[in-house]
Amino acid sequence: MTATFPLAGKRALVTGGSRGIGAAIARQLAADGADVAITYEKSADRAEAVAADIRAAGRNAVVVQADAGSVEGPRKAVDGAVKGLGGLDIVVNNAGIAGGTLFADQSTEEIDALLNVNIRGVLLTSQAALPHLGEGGRIISISSVLAHRVPFAGVTVYSATKSALEAFTLGLSRELGPKGITVNLVKPGATDTDMNPADGPNAAGLLSGISLGRFGQPTDIAAAVAFLAGPGANYITGTSLLVDGGVGA
Protein backbone atom coordinates (compact mmCIF):
# COMPACT_ATOMS: atom_id res chain seq x y z
CA MET A 1 0.00 0.00 0.00
CA THR A 2 1.44 3.37 -1.04
CA ALA A 3 1.75 5.94 1.74
CA THR A 4 0.01 9.25 1.24
CA PHE A 5 1.41 12.57 2.38
CA PRO A 6 -1.28 15.27 2.57
CA LEU A 7 1.28 17.99 3.21
CA ALA A 8 3.79 16.96 0.55
CA GLY A 9 5.57 20.00 -0.84
CA LYS A 10 4.41 22.26 2.00
CA ARG A 11 6.76 24.32 4.16
CA ALA A 12 5.86 24.92 7.80
CA LEU A 13 7.12 27.06 10.66
CA VAL A 14 6.42 25.88 14.21
CA THR A 15 7.42 28.37 16.90
CA GLY A 16 8.53 26.88 20.19
CA GLY A 17 9.09 23.55 18.50
CA SER A 18 11.86 22.12 20.65
CA ARG A 19 9.68 20.31 23.18
CA GLY A 20 6.19 19.36 24.30
CA ILE A 21 3.29 20.23 22.04
CA GLY A 22 5.49 22.15 19.59
CA ALA A 23 7.83 19.22 19.05
CA ALA A 24 4.90 16.86 18.50
CA ILE A 25 3.40 19.26 15.96
CA ALA A 26 6.69 19.57 14.09
CA ARG A 27 7.11 15.79 13.92
CA GLN A 28 3.50 15.27 12.80
CA LEU A 29 3.70 17.84 10.02
CA ALA A 30 6.89 16.18 8.81
CA ALA A 31 5.23 12.76 8.94
CA ASP A 32 2.49 14.20 6.73
CA GLY A 33 5.06 15.34 4.18
CA ALA A 34 5.99 18.91 5.11
CA ASP A 35 9.43 20.42 5.45
CA VAL A 36 9.58 22.09 8.85
CA ALA A 37 11.37 24.97 10.54
CA ILE A 38 11.25 25.13 14.32
CA THR A 39 12.26 27.87 16.72
CA TYR A 40 13.65 27.62 20.20
CA GLU A 41 14.75 30.15 22.79
CA LYS A 42 17.20 28.19 24.98
CA SER A 43 16.82 24.44 24.31
CA ALA A 44 19.25 24.10 21.40
CA ASP A 45 19.97 20.41 22.01
CA ARG A 46 16.30 19.50 22.14
CA ALA A 47 15.59 21.52 19.01
CA GLU A 48 18.34 19.72 17.14
CA ALA A 49 16.94 16.37 18.30
CA VAL A 50 13.53 17.25 16.83
CA ALA A 51 15.21 18.37 13.61
CA ALA A 52 17.09 15.06 13.45
CA ASP A 53 13.78 13.18 13.70
CA ILE A 54 12.34 15.28 10.88
CA ARG A 55 15.34 14.61 8.65
CA ALA A 56 15.13 10.92 9.49
CA ALA A 57 11.59 11.04 8.11
CA GLY A 58 13.05 12.29 4.82
CA ARG A 59 12.06 15.94 5.21
CA ASN A 60 14.04 19.14 5.38
CA ALA A 61 14.42 20.62 8.85
CA VAL A 62 15.59 24.08 9.88
CA VAL A 63 16.35 25.24 13.43
CA VAL A 64 16.16 28.94 14.29
CA GLN A 65 17.04 30.50 17.63
CA ALA A 66 14.43 33.20 18.24
CA ASP A 67 12.82 34.71 21.32
CA ALA A 68 9.08 34.95 20.66
CA GLY A 69 8.75 37.60 23.35
CA SER A 70 11.19 40.05 21.78
CA VAL A 71 10.37 42.59 19.08
CA GLU A 72 12.85 41.13 16.59
CA GLY A 73 12.35 37.42 17.38
CA PRO A 74 9.21 36.79 15.30
CA ARG A 75 10.70 38.27 12.13
CA LYS A 76 13.93 36.38 12.74
CA ALA A 77 11.89 33.18 12.96
CA VAL A 78 10.03 33.82 9.72
CA ASP A 79 13.13 34.97 7.84
CA GLY A 80 15.03 31.89 8.98
CA ALA A 81 12.22 29.58 7.92
CA VAL A 82 11.84 31.19 4.51
CA LYS A 83 15.58 31.14 3.87
CA GLY A 84 16.00 27.55 5.01
CA LEU A 85 12.88 26.09 3.38
CA GLY A 86 12.63 28.28 0.29
CA GLY A 87 9.24 29.68 1.22
CA LEU A 88 6.38 29.28 3.66
CA ASP A 89 2.91 27.76 3.50
CA ILE A 90 1.98 26.97 7.11
CA VAL A 91 2.57 28.96 10.29
CA VAL A 92 1.92 27.37 13.68
CA ASN A 93 2.07 29.91 16.50
CA ASN A 94 2.86 27.52 19.32
CA ALA A 95 5.43 29.38 21.44
CA GLY A 96 3.90 30.40 24.75
CA ILE A 97 4.54 30.68 28.45
CA ALA A 98 2.34 29.98 31.45
CA GLY A 99 1.78 31.89 34.65
CA GLY A 100 0.38 30.65 37.95
CA THR A 101 0.41 33.71 40.16
CA LEU A 102 -2.52 35.54 41.70
CA PHE A 103 -3.07 38.77 39.81
CA ALA A 104 -2.72 40.88 42.96
CA ASP A 105 0.79 39.51 43.42
CA GLN A 106 1.90 39.53 39.80
CA SER A 107 4.77 41.81 38.89
CA THR A 108 4.80 44.10 35.90
CA GLU A 109 7.67 42.04 34.50
CA GLU A 110 5.63 38.82 34.71
CA ILE A 111 2.62 40.47 33.07
CA ASP A 112 4.77 41.92 30.30
CA ALA A 113 6.36 38.53 29.61
CA LEU A 114 2.95 36.87 29.23
CA LEU A 115 1.65 39.61 26.97
CA ASN A 116 4.79 39.75 24.86
CA VAL A 117 5.12 36.02 24.22
CA ASN A 118 1.50 34.88 24.17
CA ILE A 119 -0.05 37.80 22.27
CA ARG A 120 2.51 40.07 20.66
CA GLY A 121 4.68 37.17 19.55
CA VAL A 122 1.75 35.55 17.76
CA LEU A 123 0.72 38.80 16.11
CA LEU A 124 4.21 39.72 14.93
CA THR A 125 4.99 36.21 13.66
CA SER A 126 1.75 36.13 11.69
CA GLN A 127 2.36 39.61 10.31
CA ALA A 128 5.91 38.78 9.24
CA ALA A 129 4.66 35.63 7.48
CA LEU A 130 1.90 37.32 5.46
CA PRO A 131 4.05 38.36 2.48
CA HIS A 132 5.15 34.74 2.07
CA LEU A 133 1.74 33.02 2.27
CA GLY A 134 -0.31 32.40 -0.84
CA GLU A 135 -3.50 30.60 -1.81
CA GLY A 136 -3.98 27.64 0.50
CA GLY A 137 -1.80 29.15 3.23
CA ARG A 138 -2.48 28.34 6.86
CA ILE A 139 -2.08 30.22 10.13
CA ILE A 140 -2.81 28.08 13.19
CA SER A 141 -2.34 29.36 16.72
CA ILE A 142 -2.28 27.41 19.96
CA SER A 143 -4.53 28.83 22.65
CA SER A 144 -5.94 27.02 25.70
CA VAL A 145 -9.18 25.76 27.16
CA LEU A 146 -8.54 28.46 29.76
CA ALA A 147 -9.32 31.07 27.11
CA HIS A 148 -13.06 30.62 27.68
CA ARG A 149 -13.33 29.10 31.14
CA VAL A 150 -11.28 29.76 34.29
CA PRO A 151 -12.14 27.09 36.88
CA PHE A 152 -9.40 28.00 39.35
CA ALA A 153 -7.47 31.04 40.53
CA GLY A 154 -3.98 32.06 39.54
CA VAL A 155 -4.22 32.15 35.74
CA THR A 156 -5.99 35.46 35.18
CA VAL A 157 -3.43 37.10 32.90
CA TYR A 158 -2.54 33.82 31.18
CA SER A 159 -6.21 33.22 30.37
CA ALA A 160 -6.56 36.78 29.12
CA THR A 161 -3.66 36.32 26.72
CA LYS A 162 -5.12 33.10 25.33
CA SER A 163 -8.58 34.66 25.02
CA ALA A 164 -7.11 37.50 22.96
CA LEU A 165 -6.01 34.97 20.35
CA GLU A 166 -9.66 34.13 19.65
CA ALA A 167 -10.46 37.69 18.59
CA PHE A 168 -7.23 37.83 16.59
CA THR A 169 -8.12 34.60 14.79
CA LEU A 170 -11.60 35.84 13.92
CA GLY A 171 -10.38 39.19 12.64
CA LEU A 172 -7.47 37.85 10.62
CA SER A 173 -9.64 35.14 9.07
CA ARG A 174 -11.84 37.92 7.66
CA GLU A 175 -8.86 39.77 6.24
CA LEU A 176 -7.19 36.73 4.67
CA GLY A 177 -10.26 34.83 3.48
CA PRO A 178 -10.30 36.59 0.07
CA LYS A 179 -6.70 35.43 -0.44
CA GLY A 180 -7.55 31.79 0.23
CA ILE A 181 -5.59 31.71 3.50
CA THR A 182 -7.25 30.13 6.52
CA VAL A 183 -6.73 31.18 10.13
CA ASN A 184 -7.70 28.88 12.98
CA LEU A 185 -7.13 28.26 16.67
CA VAL A 186 -6.50 25.05 18.61
CA LYS A 187 -7.41 25.10 22.30
CA PRO A 188 -5.78 22.26 24.25
CA GLY A 189 -6.97 21.14 27.64
CA ALA A 190 -4.67 19.55 30.22
CA THR A 191 -1.82 18.03 28.22
CA ASP A 192 1.03 15.95 29.59
CA THR A 193 4.09 18.17 29.05
CA ASP A 194 6.98 19.53 31.09
CA MET A 195 4.86 22.56 31.94
CA ASN A 196 1.86 20.52 33.11
CA PRO A 197 2.83 16.89 33.81
CA ALA A 198 0.14 14.26 34.23
CA ASP A 199 1.70 13.30 37.57
CA GLY A 200 2.10 16.89 38.78
CA PRO A 201 0.65 18.41 41.97
CA ASN A 202 -2.42 19.78 40.18
CA ALA A 203 -3.18 16.65 38.17
CA ALA A 204 -5.88 15.16 40.41
CA GLY A 205 -7.96 18.32 40.39
CA LEU A 206 -7.68 18.67 36.65
CA LEU A 207 -8.55 15.02 35.98
CA SER A 208 -11.81 15.33 37.89
CA GLY A 209 -13.20 17.60 35.18
CA ILE A 210 -12.04 15.66 32.11
CA SER A 211 -14.71 13.43 30.57
CA LEU A 212 -12.16 10.99 29.15
CA GLY A 213 -10.45 10.72 32.54
CA ARG A 214 -6.92 11.31 31.31
CA PHE A 215 -4.55 14.06 30.30
CA GLY A 216 -4.08 14.64 26.61
CA GLN A 217 -0.83 13.77 24.91
CA PRO A 218 1.12 16.25 22.74
CA THR A 219 0.33 13.98 19.79
CA ASP A 220 -3.39 14.60 20.36
CA ILE A 221 -2.85 18.33 19.83
CA ALA A 222 -0.52 17.70 16.91
CA ALA A 223 -3.18 15.63 15.14
CA ALA A 224 -5.64 18.51 15.35
CA VAL A 225 -3.08 20.97 13.99
CA ALA A 226 -2.17 18.63 11.14
CA PHE A 227 -5.85 18.33 10.20
CA LEU A 228 -6.26 22.11 10.07
CA ALA A 229 -3.05 22.37 8.02
CA GLY A 230 -4.22 19.76 5.52
CA PRO A 231 -6.54 19.66 2.52
CA GLY A 232 -9.45 18.33 4.58
CA ALA A 233 -9.72 21.73 6.28
CA ASN A 234 -9.87 23.85 3.12
CA TYR A 235 -13.27 25.28 4.09
CA ILE A 236 -12.55 25.83 7.78
CA THR A 237 -11.46 29.28 8.94
CA GLY A 238 -12.07 31.54 11.91
CA THR A 239 -12.68 28.48 14.04
CA SER A 240 -11.55 27.46 17.54
CA LEU A 241 -11.06 23.71 17.90
CA LEU A 242 -11.26 22.34 21.43
CA VAL A 243 -8.95 19.39 22.12
CA ASP A 244 -9.64 18.98 25.82
CA GLY A 245 -10.94 15.48 26.52
CA GLY A 246 -14.40 16.84 27.25
CA VAL A 247 -13.59 19.54 29.81
CA GLY A 248 -16.03 21.85 28.06
CA ALA A 249 -18.84 19.28 28.02
Residues labelled as active-site residues: 158
CB within 8 Å of 230: residues ≥ 6 apart: 6, 7, 32
Please tell me whether residue 173 adopts helix, strand or coil conformation: helix
CA distance 14 to 47: 11
What phi and psi, each to the nearest 5 degrees, are found at residue 13?
-115, 125
Give the amino acid at 87: G
Number of helical H runs and strand E runs in the chain: 8, 7
Give the pairing of strands 182-188 and 35-40.
Answer: unpaired
CB within 8 Å of 227: residues ≥ 6 apart: 233
Q: Is the dihedral of CA 30, 33, 35, 36 positive or negative?
A: negative
